[in-house]
Chains A and B, each alone.
Chain A
Amino acid sequence: MTAPRNGFHAARWNEPLIQDLSEPGARGLLPGAVEPAIRAGAGDALARVPAHVRRAAPPALPEVTQHRVVRHFTRLAQMTMGFDVTTDMMGTCTMKYSPKVHEHIVRAARLADVHPGQDPETLQGVLAILYRFNRMMCAIAGMDEFTFQPASGAQGIYTNACLIRAYHAARGELGRRDEIITTAFSHPADAATPHVAGFKVITLMPGPQGYPELAALEAAVSPRTAGLMLTNPEDTGQYNPAIRAFVERVHAVGGLCAYDQANGNPLLGIARAGDAGFDLCQFNLHKTFSAPHGAIGLGCAAVGVKEPLRRFLPRPVVTLDGTRYGLDDDRPDAIERIRAFLGNVPTVVKAYAWVMSLGTEGLRAVAETAVLNNNYLLANIRRIKGVAIPWPENTAPKLEQVRYSWEPLHNDTGVTTMEIEQRMVDYGVQHYMPSHVPVLVPQPFTIEPGESLTIEEMDHMIATLRAIAAEAYEEPEVVHHAPHHASVARVDDGIANDPATWAFTHRALAKKRAAWSKPRSAAAKRHAGY
């Protein structure tokens, strides 16, 4: 049996803050001087700025040598558990291998040092990739047109909400259609973004099988329904087989249906949003399509629509006129731009390269393997003492992830899912994702293995969870007080949540650090303005 990684200790450099490394006079980079001709021609350009508008004192940036800056950030990198370093099965995040060749491709000067406003004649490569990938995404999703402008899944879902708003506004129905229906186990953005776009939000709670029943939707739909926005499978990994009936019911009252494919990895080549009748959808290119998660960025959502909604897609839209690609900026019905320019172009290039590497057979292999891996984990994790699987009556296989529960373990030992999460780091694996809100599963943890990992790596994760569960029963103190081998000792995060002590910048820290040592009562924190 595979053993957990005992004896691990993360790098712990105790690296000071960069501003505390400052040595007066040290230079990291020289901006250089202008040529004498320019000095002569321009004179003292700064003197033209009135004194009161000029910066009086230089900003409190550090003065550090270039080599020390290299070391500093390299050490910080070493204290970060990226997917390149270790196993990360955070549920709902679709962690997977981001091919290195993509990084080398996008560093090309003719991509990196290109201005988005250049004449399309000089952007033919970028536009070709955007255009071709648009057609590829249409094939993958069963849609008619995509935009890649949104810079994250949440922004993609927001784009869906804006498109729904524009559609009803164009029909003069926006005023009386003000409700968006979502589900409790859809991504929080499926509820948050329609709210930001001005809609009321109706959340369907799960039924006995763990996903909402059609009867729940029945209680929600009305002539006020503007649309349905959901994930399927939901965060539980459970696929709602009545999805087409959901779509039909919403269409029957005049609403639109948006399929958030945040959990779309198991469906590539298997089932398409368009075939289920959805009018809109969105995919996370930085997750499902292998572009790296970038330490929480650079995201990109591919937002796809059916023909009737094409005219609402934000400008510019890439066009192909025979052999040359262009940008259509004249779109009178379009929703307002969602993000500057063309979005996160390098992320699209990486997604394009990934699909080009795998092809249709490969995408299906990705989906099937992600599902196979997940069910292998499920079969093993469910045997760990203290684990429960919610909705045991639902015996359908889970797709790409599972929301598990440590409730039995918590009731037996008092150990919480958050403590186990922190203990995982001691074994040299990235911790799991507990749950999105609302937390309907007690002591939840959500694991999504993806398709990139080997059986040995999965066995290692299983062994790690089993070892920690055993610790919870046998020596819970070890888990309570974890982590012990991380890059930093235990942190009092209450400090980070109290307005009197939180510090979001070095300058705030300088003022507030003294307050860290003052005793804080729970009452003081509670009434702190939050």
Chain B
Amino acid sequence: MPPRVGVVVNPIAGLGGRVGLKGTDGVEVVARALALGAVPRAGARMAEALAALRARRRDVAIVSGDDAHDPVGGTNAADTIVAARVLAEAGVDLLLFAGGDGTARDILTAVGDRVPVLGVPAGVKMHSAVFAASPRAAADLAAAFFAGDAALAELEVMDLDEEAYRAGRVSARLYGFVRGPYRRDLVQGVKVGGVAGETAALDGLAAEVASRLGPGTPAILGPGTTMRAVAEALGAAKTLLGVDLVRDGRVIAVDAAEADLLRALATAEDARLIVAPIGGQGHILGRGNQQVSSEVIRRVGLDRLIVAATPAKLASLHHQALRVDTGDSGLDRALAGYRRVVTGRGAEAVCRVVA
């Protein structure tokens, strides 16, 4: 059966970036961008990706969701959501969308993890892990997925608060996870099996982290799939997006806010804080887990912070450092430098952390 690709283009994505606006969320921004001479480019980016995909897979069937959009007036998140839902219900094998983090959030809202999703980068902000590096790289990944050479992974959808961003403050949130094609960087003949092997790697990592927590030790677990695995190894079920507090295999605070964490820490001397890199840029603190505030981190103590990441996750950052951005520059400086990262059972990596 020829693979069916559903296509959603957010035509205004990226408009802001070309004219110096940080993002394109909101009707006023679109209007300003167009007034400043911005030319919609998401459509062209998608066209490039589709042409490249066709060059690999002549049999691919493309189902358009474009009709839901009006590139000039009235374009909004609702259009993207409607288009994506229609395509998901039509049973496409892959939902290919062009846009930025805002579009990715809309896709998340629309389809959740019901259909595989892949982003063609066309936005201003692209912190989400769902984006390929370029339109042609997206085509390559889609083709690999159809060939069975890439498996599905839970990929972060993140976005900045654009108001804050335009005001010069960075405040990234983790909005959720979609399922998207994922491939370890190819070396000789590495196939889909390597990805499922990732489950075993995660299990080993989780067991190692769990073994470091003594009885009665409260552990603050950050968001994401790695921390979910750690919670499972501890015998607890944690929220995927939230920051949870776990002790002796029991979740004692679900989706905790900063205040909840501080309250819990008031009575716990020996708490551990366990986090994993979030998204494609390697942030371990300050993006996507702002609940773990600088005060929470200081209260726990820097020497009681455990960073965990599978080798594949570290490799996906390529040779970039891990990042911290807690909003507290003194703390960021203290966290920077080299830090041991748990990567598996009896295995650690020493990674550079930069502020």
Contact = CB atoms under 8 A, between A and B. Distances in A.
A and B touch in the complex (CB under 8 A): yes
Interface of A: 184, 195, 199-208, 210, 212-213, 215-220, 390-391, 407, 410-418, 433-444, 476-477, 480, 493-494, 497, 519-522, 525-528, 530
B318 A442 contact: yes
A491 to B, nearest CB: 10
B340 A202 contact: yes
B187 interface: yes
B191 interface: yes
Interface stretch (B104-112, B146-154, B162-170, B227-235): B146-154
Given A216-B350, A439-B187, A477-B55, A410 B137 contact: yes
B56 interface: yes
Contacts of A217: 350
Range class of the B interface residue count: 35 or more
B178 interface: no
A203 B350 contact: yes
A407 B186 CA distance: 13
Given A201-B348, A215-B337, A526-B195, 6 more contacts: A199-B346, A203-B349, A213-B352, A414-B56, A480-B56, A526-B151
B32 interface: no
Contacts of B147: 494, 522
Interface of B: 1, 52, 55-56, 133-137, 139-140, 145-149, 151-152, 184-189, 191-193, 195-197, 311-312, 314-315, 318-319, 337-340, 343, 346-352
For B55, B133, B340, which residue has the most chain A Cβ atoms within 10 angstroms?
B55
A497 B192 CA distance: 8
B318 A497 contact: no
8 contacts: A184-B349, A203-B347, A203-B348, A219-B337, A414-B52, A416-B186, A438-B312, A439-B187
A216 B318 contact: no
Nearest to B146: A522
Contacts of B195: 526
Nearest to A405: B318
A439 B314 contact: no
B45 to A, nearest CB: 12
B311 A219 contact: no
Contacts of B133: 407, 410-411, 442
Contacts of B314: 205, 438
Most chain-A CB neighbours within 10 Å: which of B1, B147, B343, B350? B350
A385 to B, nearest CB: 14
Contact of B196 (A436, A439, A443, A530): A530
Given A203-B343, A439-B315, A494-B149, A526 B192 contact: yes
Nearest to B339: A219
A95 to B, nearest CB: 16
B185 A439 contact: yes
Given A202-B347, A411-B136, A522-B148, A436 B191 contact: no
A438 B192 CA distance: 16
Given A207-B352, A494-B148, A215 B188 contact: no
Contacts of B184: 439
A490 B192 CA distance: 18
Nearest to B351: A205
A434 B148 contact: no
B347 A205 contact: no
Contacts, number: 152
B346 A434 contact: no
A436 B319 contact: no
A434 B188 contact: yes
Query: Top 8 nearest A-B pairs by Cβ distance?
Result: A414-B136, A439-B185, A411-B134, A530-B193, A219-B338, A438-B315, A200-B346, A522-B148
B15 to A, nearest CB: 22
A201 B352 contact: no
Nearest to B140: A414
Contacts of B196: 526-528, 530
Nearest to A183: B350
Contacts of B151: 522, 526
A520 B351 CA distance: 40
A199 B318 CA distance: 26
Given A202-B347, A205-B350, A519-B1, A414 B186 contact: no
Contacts of A530: 192-193, 196-197
Contacts of A438: 311-312, 314-315
B94 to A, nearest CB: 10
B326 to A, nearest CB: 20
A457 to B, nearest CB: 24
Contacts of A407: 133
Contact of A204 (B188, B192, B346, B350): B350
* Highest count of chain A CB atoms <10 Å: which of B56, B338, B351: B338
B67 to A, nearest CB: 27
Contact of B187 (A203, A218, A437): A437
Contacts of B187: 434-437, 439
Given A201-B347, A440-B318, A519-B1, A493 B137 contact: no
B134 A205 contact: no
B350 A441 contact: no
A212 B350 contact: yes
Nearest to A219: B338
B319 A206 contact: yes
Given A390-B319, A437-B187, A205 B192 contact: no
B198 to A, nearest CB: 10
Contacts of A525: 148, 192-193
A417 B99 CA distance: 27
A184 to B, nearest CB: 7
Contacts of B149: 494
Contact of B186 (A207, A415, A417, A433): A417
A521 B192 CA distance: 12
Of the candidates A215, A416, A444, A477, the one having the most CB atoms from chain B within 10 angstroms of its own CB is A416
B318 A204 contact: no
A187 B155 CA distance: 30
A220 B137 contact: no
B276 to A, nearest CB: 16
A205 B346 contact: no
A437 B350 CA distance: 16
Nearest to B344: A201
Contact of B55 (A218, A412, A480): A480
A176 to B, nearest CB: 15
B51 to A, nearest CB: 10
Report which residue of B52, B147, B151, B187 has the largest number of chain A beta carbons within 10 angstroms of its beta carbon: B187
A342 B143 CA distance: 50
B140 A410 contact: yes
Contact of A216 (B146, B311, B352): B352
A219 B350 contact: yes
A191 to B, nearest CB: 8
A443 B141 CA distance: 13
Contacts of B197: 530
